[in-house]
């Protein structure tokens, strides 16, 4: 049997890749995809711990995380569409109206 720590380690690696994606990429959609990657890394950790403790609660939390991710993706993409209509770009470096 693969120990729980291996799954959590894999989850940490995926999370780190997601963080790199958010910080390094400037395309808003790819940043969004990296956020979804981070959420899924957390899901993996939850399911691994749920199996470790033989409690279904972990999977229920994953259910909620998925629904929250769905709502967030819908609204976020709508925002991206609205921004694109005005500025014709979704490059985070060029959307700097609110910067000091």
Least Å distance, CB 29 to other proteins, is 5
| 87 lies in the site for other proteins, by CB under 8 A | no
Provide DSSP, 36-69. Answer: HHHHHHHHHHHHHHHHHHT-THHHHHHHHHHHHH
Two tokens, residue 84: 């694109």
Site for other proteins in 7-46 (CB under 8 A): 7-10, 12-14, 16-21, 23-27, 29-30, 32-34, 36-37, 40, 43-44
Alpha-carbon span 80 to 86, nearest angstrom: 10
For the window 39-78, what string marks contact with other proteins as x by the rule CB under 8 A? Answer: -x--xx--xxxxxxxxxxx-xx-xxx-xxxxxxxxxx-xx
Alpha-carbon span 9 to 11, nearest angstrom: 5
Least Å distance, CB 71 to other proteins, is 3
Alpha-carbon span 39 to 34, nearest angstrom: 9
Backbone angles phi, psi at 5, to 5 degrees: -60, -30
- Tell me the site size for other proteins, rule CB under 8 A: 72
Q: Judged by CB, which is closer to other proteins: 1, or 97?
A: 1
Q: Judged by CB, which is closer to other proteins: 1, or 98?
A: 1
């Amino acid at each position: 049997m693969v120990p729980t720590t291996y799954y959590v380690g894999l989850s940490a690696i995926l999370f780190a890749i997601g963080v790199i994606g958010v910080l390094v990429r400037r395309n808003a959609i790819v940043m969004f995809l990296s956020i979804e990657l981070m959420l899924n890394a957390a899901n993996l950790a939850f399911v691994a711990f749920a199996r470790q403790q033989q409690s279904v609660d972990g999977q229920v939390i994953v259910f909620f995380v998925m629904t929250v991710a769905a709502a967030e993706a819908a609204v976020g993409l709508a925002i991206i569409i609205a921004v694109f209509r005005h500025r014709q770009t979704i490059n985070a470096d060029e959307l700097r109206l609110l910067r000091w």
